[in-house]
Amino acid sequence: MLNKSNTTWPQKPLSEVVDLNPRLDKSAYRDDLEVSFVPMAAVEAGSGRMEVSQTKQFAAVKKGYTPFREGDVLFAKITPCMENGKMAVVPKLTNGIGFGSTEFHVLRPHDGMDPRYVYYFVSAQGFRREAAHHMTGAVGQKRVPQSFLQEASIPVPLLENQRRIVAEIEKQFSRLDEAVASLKRTKANLKRYKAAVLKAAVEGKLTEVWRKAHPDVEPASKLLERILAERQGKWNGRGKYKEPSTVDSSGLPTLPEGWLWASLEQLSWHSAYGTSVKCGYDNSGPNVLRIPNVESGRLDFGDLKFAPKSFQIERDEELSVGDVLIIRTNGSRSLIGRSAVVRQPLMSRSTYASYLIRFRLVQISEVVAWVSTIWDVVFFSPMD
């Protein structure tokens, strides 16, 4: 919002430069006239865009809706629409008139006021913050009163200067949009490049030259024998040791000579769901890692919850280096399968919630490094 201290432009109450919620002479319109209809959802938050393709007959909307015309500025008065920036300049309408939600204030600029200048002023974050402080009503139904808009002060440069200001704002916004689009393209390209590199890695193409120069490297079959031996050596379950499930490689890509497919069960000696203990931010017990803490391939400790002080972590429930946490269930399908590997000792004792499953990897360095690197890209395909 423009500040009086840094401009010589005259300051005027909004009510002196716009008509607030102007009345409509309904007798001037036929009941069967098609008019634009704009529900709150048709105004996009923060962008100034609005959809006006929907129409209704005048008779259906002349009562119980807010009238407006081309060039008016719509200002959402109810929370959270106002705070989110649901404001817009009304574009060309069907038969020049529209109706919309009763939760809009309508600002009709006087001659000498550019509607876009008024829009940018009332949609600015500073103005919206001030409007939020003046809201009235019950929680969840608070609204900006008309009196706030009437008394709000706006700097009023000459119309020519208003247009220059608007043009500069839109030029900068256009540059910002281009920068955002370029960043999205770059991120998409990096994601594709990373996927291509790892695909080449797991198919053996990335190390093809190196393998030819090192023909005596340990084959995967021997490595798997070492892994399975360690796995059996750590067995502490009930009853007889159970061999892990193997991989049916029919239908899977052909691997380079000396490589083989292995299951995650073969590479780990224990797996289990997490705890269902109720955790919270104000508890003083051990850390309980949850879905928000599982990023792609790493752990994020920025949003930690804790178990009650009385909660005791069993030895097998405590997270340690080499553990793989995988999101096994969630309301969002796009998160299922996301994983993180514990790569280094944790600062404090931690366990994990029941929405996660943990695989405790066999402590052979090649196993931990390989799974840490490739799980999310090769095995986890988001289902957005």
- DSSP code string of 88-132: EE----GGGEEEE-TTEEEEEEPTT--HHHHHHHHHSHHHHHHHH
| Cβ contacts of 332-338, under 8 Å, gap ≥ 24 | 333/383, 334/382, 334/383, 334/384, 335/291, 336/383, 337/379, 337/380, 337/381, 337/382, 338/294, 338/295, 338/296, 338/376, 338/380, 338/382
> Rounded to an integer, what distance in angstroms lies between the CA atom of residue 100 and that of residue 83?
19
Q: One-letter amino acid identity for 156? A: V
> Rounded to an integer, what distance in angstroms lies between the CA atom of residue 375 and that of residue 13?
60
For the beta sheet containing 305-306, the strands, ordered from the edge strand earlier in sequence to the opposite edge, are: 305-306, 287-289, 350-352
What number of H helices and E strands is found in the chain?
Answer: 10, 17
Handedness of CA 222, 224, 225, 226 (dihedral sign): positive
> Rounded to an integer, what distance in angstroms lies between the CA atom of residue 322 and that of residue 86?
48
In the chain, DSSP assigns E strands to 11-13, 18-20, 34-38, 55-57, 66-69, 73-76, 87-89, 97-100, 104-109, 153-155, 268-273, 287-289, 305-306, 323-327, 339-341, 350-352, 356-361
> Rounded to an integer, what distance in angstroms lies between the CA atom of residue 26 and that of residue 382?
54
Q: Which fold has domain 263-379?
A: Adenine-n6-DNA-methyltransferase TaqI; Chain A, domain 2 (3.90.220)
The pLDDT score that the predictor gives to residue 383 is: 37
> Rounded to an integer, what distance in angstroms lies between the CA atom of residue 11 and that of residue 152?
10
Same fold: 4-157 with 263-379: yes
Q: Which fold has domain 4-157?
A: Adenine-n6-DNA-methyltransferase TaqI; Chain A, domain 2 (3.90.220)
pLDDT in tens, the chain (384 residues): 444 444 589 999 999 999 999 999 999 999 999 999 999 999 999 999 999 999 999 999 999 999 999 999 999 999 999 999 999 999 999 999 999 999 999 999 999 999 999 999 999 999 999 999 999 998 778 999 999 999 999 999 999 999 999 999 999 989 988 998 999 999 888 878 877 887 787 778 888 888 888 888 888 888 889 889 888 887 766 678 888 888 888 888 888 888 888 888 888 888 889 999 999 998 889 999 999 988 877 788 888 899 999 998 887 788 988 888 989 887 677 788 888 888 788 878 899 999 999 988 887 777 767 776 666 555 444 433
The pLDDT score that the predictor gives to residue 382 is: 42
Tell how strand 287-289 and strand 350-352 pair up.
parallel
The pLDDT score that the predictor gives to residue 160 is: 96
Contact, 112 vs 160, CB < 8 A?
no
Contact, 280 vs 295, CB < 8 A?
no
The pLDDT score that the predictor gives to residue 7 is: 57
> Rounded to an integer, what distance in angstroms lies between the CA atom of residue 130 and that of residue 287?
40
Contact, 351 vs 274, CB < 8 A?
yes
In the chain, domain spans: 4-157, 158-202, 263-379
For the entire predicted model, the pTM comes to: 0.57
Q: One-letter amino acid identity for 180? A: V
| Cα–Cα distances in angstroms (integers) from residue 246 to residues 85, 263, 337, in the given order | 55, 6, 20
